[in-house]
Structure 1
Amino acid sequence: MVTDANILDCIQAVDEVHTMASLAGFEALLRGKTVYCYGSPFYAH
């Protein structure tokens, strides 16, 4: 497990993001990535 990665670098390296309710999902949306939410973050609706 990587513990010191920059989340924005990680988002840039993937096609989609899966999250419960993390702001990383919102950051991914802002960057045009497909986001799958399994929780209920404010940006899921």
Structure 2
Amino acid sequence: MALIALVFVLGIVSGIAATIAALVAYILWTARDLPDNIEPSAKE
């Protein structure tokens, strides 16, 4: 049972990490294509 629980937890953690990575990549990609959405301090 411990092995099953470990695999289950690792699956959830990896899923969350993949989701966060996808969101960050999407935000960076959108910010690159739309410089107007970036704060003025970031343009300097």
TM-score (norm 1): 0.23
Q: Whose relative contact order is higher, 1 or 2, with alpha carbons under 8 Å and at least 6 apart? A: 1
TM-score (norm 2): 0.24
Higher helix proportion: 2
Higher strand proportion: 1
